[in-house]
Amino acid sequence: MSTDRPILWSFRRCPYAMRARLSLHVAEIEIEHREILLRDKPAAMLDASPKGTIPILVLPDRTVIDESLDIMLWALRRHDPEAWLRNEAAALALAHACDTEFKPHLDRYKYATRYDGADPDAHRTAAAEFVSELEARLKRSASLDGEHDGLADHAIFPFIRQYAHTDRDWFAGQDWPAVQAWLTRHLNSGRFAEIMRKYPLWTAASDTHDAT
């Protein structure tokens, strides 16, 4: 285990991992990136956090942070050059709403076959209520955090991306011009391109690891 920089266990397409990588990137924290497959979790990752969810940040002192919002807060409290935490309480409340109210419906819409009796269309409609709330916010200001992107924007947009990409034609046809423009802006950002770089899968036999 590296002793001079945190280790991030990550899966490229996981929205929880995306939000963690975004915060580590803006905070300019160099990490050792360990890319894994969710269907083939390494023993070393499970040793760090037996619950086995992504992302996991292991600090040099072996402290483990295995909740994505906690990773965001850890990184931003160390260095927050773009003031993502300026509306911290309100941003966290909205991010928690995304995780507890929107994400369960998103999962049952996108992965309906994994849930007995799930009606994907009904869950898509239920999830749309949260998106409509974002639309109302974004009609009032450029970002969820006000006039400049902050914690809420970067914590939530990976999940709206997943929702939009489940049926792109349907999403494009909804009356959400502000959300659609906001999502497109984030998807086209240089930061998102950087945190979506592809890494080779980590193995215990790996001799070197990329840093971000």
* DSSP string computed for 95-161: HHHIIIIIHHHHHHHHTGGGSTT--HHHHHHHHHHHHHHHHHHHHHSSBTTBSS--HHHHHHHHHHH
Q: What is the DSSP letter of 201?
A: B
What kind of fold does domain 88-192 have according to CATH? Glutathione S-transferase Yfyf (Class Pi); Chain A, domain 2 (1.20.1050)
Model pTM score: 0.93
Locate 43 and state its tokens.
Answer: 């023993």
Residue 208 has pLDDT above 80, yes or no: no
Q: Looking at the chain, which residues constitute the CATH 1.20.1050.10 domain(s)?
A: 88-192
Report the percent of the chain where pLDDT is more than 90.
Answer: 93
What kind of fold does domain 7-82 have according to CATH? Glutaredoxin (3.40.30)
Residue 122 CB coordination number (10 Å): 13
Question: What local confidence, expressed as pLDDT, does residue 98 receive?
Answer: 98
Model pLDDT for residues 128-174, shown as the tens digit of each residue: 999 999 999 999 999 999 999 999 999 999 999 999 999 999 999 99
How many helices and strands in the chain, by DSSP H and E?
Answer: 10, 4
Q: Looking at the chain, which residues constitute the CATH 3.40.30.10 domain(s)?
A: 7-82
Mean pLDDT value across residues 105-110: 98
How many Å is the maximal CA-CA distance in the chain?
Answer: 52
